[in-house]
Amino acid sequence: MLTFLALAMILTFIILLSKKKLSVFTALTLVPLFYGLIAVTLNGGTVIELFDWITQGIFFKQNLETGKVSWGVISPGITILFSILYFDLMLNVGLFDPIAEFFIKKAKGDPLKVTLSTVMVASVVALNGDTTTTIIICLAAFLNLYKQLKLKLSYLAIIIVGPIGIWNQLPWGGPTIACSTAMGVELNELFAALLPGLLVAQVVVIVVAGYLGMKERKRLGYKAGDDGEVSEESIQQMLSAIREKDPELKRPKLYAFNLILTLGAIFILIKGYVHGSVVFMLASAIALVINYRSVKECNERLEALASDVLPTALATLGAGVFSGVLSGSGMAASLANTIANIIPTSLGSHMAPIYALIAAPAICFLPQDAFYFGIASVIKDVMGQFGITPIQAAVASMAGQSFRLISPVIPALYLLCGETEQNFVGFQKEYTKYFWVVLVTYMIVFGITGAIPY
């Protein structure tokens, strides 16, 4: 019965999100509440017992035999809140602007330089973890240039989203947050395991962008040294896409300070010296006071960024209800045991790479939270029965991010397709044609580092 309830709860959650009948926060909260009430009724328990499961999912639970305390979602939830706040502040003050401007100036009229500049600008802007912002800025900076040079707009689209799929996996990115919360692993530990794969994937994406630039050189008959440079006026128009985005918020004179503060925060986070929530809480407070001196300006920034910060933080806390009911009721263990009994013993030790390959299409076509909270959180327990650690299971889940940025459930991609004059299916095919290599890269690198056991 518990297995049936678990499946029903997960499917209801996925369907309601996919059909957009509930928001992420309300689905994570109300669906498990409904099925939790059924579970305690069937078990002859009380509503107080259900509230205990939810409390443990949000805050912590203690093993009475070993005394070990397992944190709920409150730990990553606070980290998420302040990390998003911090990097939104850094985007506002213009921390990433000089690097983006440098690559735009280098592009000139050479198709190879243009594609390489595109991928580098997209990589820099994507560090803030926001897909929509990255797409808007890169389109504003490069769309007219591609049209002027008669470069393929389909290449512009896939070059923009290639780095986004990689750098969305930073500790303040939505996928990493969802995976960390659903799988019950610390953000900094998950990121440390992902980092080697992300760095190599970035190199691969640059190589692919270079290959596309060489193809365009050949198609257009361009030769290095030709007098085909873009006018200074056109370059200034591209730079304005960076410079004119909220100019009143930028703080160029404080660039060195903001850079040092950011590098220091990231270093401390990766090293694990201090909990991520403390790192970004303090860094956010320092960044606010130094960059926006008056109380009025600080309050205005906090109010303006609340729309970015709150939805993800609320969804993370709502996930505590989902995970608390799923685990506390015994549904998760029952479902995991059922699945484990079906899997042949000979395949059990190879579950991680098999699951990583399956995760790619799954995370492409399912809402992100539906995948991580509805599927990955259960598969983690199944893999645990074959000796695969939660971190390894989490990394296997993240490998599917290589195809996340062609998902039909990401609204910003329709803007991208419209501006680059192509239909969505054509965009998916073009991306898959060139960037399948990112998934292969993850599988190889994570296999070498042991992040995905083979």
5-14, 38-47, 236-245: least confident range: 236-245
Residue 14 has pLDDT above 60, yes or no: yes
| 69-71/60-62 β-pairing | antiparallel
User: What tokens does 72 get?
Assistant: 């709920």
Helix (H, G, I), strand (E, B), or coil: what is residue 62?
strand
Residue 271 has pLDDT above 70, yes or no: yes
Confidence of residue 367 (pLDDT cuts 50, 70, 90): low
Q: What is the mean pLDDT of residues 176-188?
A: 85
pLDDT (0 to 100) of residue 64? 67
pLDDT (0 to 100) of residue 23? 83
pLDDT (0 to 100) of residue 129? 60
Confidence of residue 201 (pLDDT cuts 50, 70, 90): very high
Distance of CA 398 to the CA centre of its chain: 9
Q: Who wins on pLDDT, 454 or 391?
A: 391
pLDDT (0 to 100) of residue 284? 95
Report the alpha-carbon distance of residue 222 to residue 215 in Å, rounded.
10
pLDDT (0 to 100) of residue 309? 82
The pLDDT tens digits of the residues spanning 114-164 come to 899 899 988 988 876 667 778 877 887 788 778 877 889 999 999 999 999
Confidence of residue 451 (pLDDT cuts 50, 70, 90): very high
Tell the burial category of 381 from Cβ atoms under 10 Å away from its Cβ (0-12, 13-18, 19+): buried
Supply φ then ψ for residue 436, to 5 degrees: -60, -25
pLDDT (0 to 100) of residue 88? 82
296-310, 333-347, 430-444: least confident range: 333-347
Residue 41 has pLDDT above 80, yes or no: yes
Transcribe 413-438 into DSSP letters.
HHHHHHHTT--HHHHHHHHHHHHHHH
Residue 238 has pLDDT above 80, yes or no: no
Residue 228 has pLDDT above 60, yes or no: no
The pLDDT tens digits of the residues spanning 68-126 come to 666 777 877 787 788 778 888 987 898 877 876 776 677 666 888 889 989 998 898 88
- Residue 228 sits at the vertex; the CA angle it makes with 225 and 229, to the nearest 5 degrees, is 95
Which residues contact residue 134 at a Cβ distance below 8 angstroms, ignoring those fewer than 6 apart? 122, 125, 126, 128, 160, 164
Report the alpha-carbon distance of residue 183 to residue 185 in Å, rounded.
6
Report the alpha-carbon distance of residue 45 to residue 40 in Å, rounded.
5
Supply φ then ψ for residue 65, to 5 degrees: -80, -45
pLDDT (0 to 100) of residue 251? 93
Transcribe 144-165 into DSSP letters.
HHHHHHT--HHHHHHHHHHHHH
The mean predicted confidence, pLDDT, of the chain is 83
Three-class HEC string of 241-296: HHHCCCHHHCCHHHHHHHHHHHHHHHHHHHHCCCCHHHHHHHHHHHHHHHHCCCHH
Q: What is the pTM of this model?
A: 0.67
The pLDDT tens digits of the residues spanning 292-330 come to 989 999 999 999 999 878 887 787 788 788 878 887 888
User: What tokens does 104 get?
Assistant: 């735009």
DSSP, res 61: E
DSSP, res 411: T
The pLDDT tens digits of the residues spanning 392-415 come to 999 999 998 888 888 866 767 877
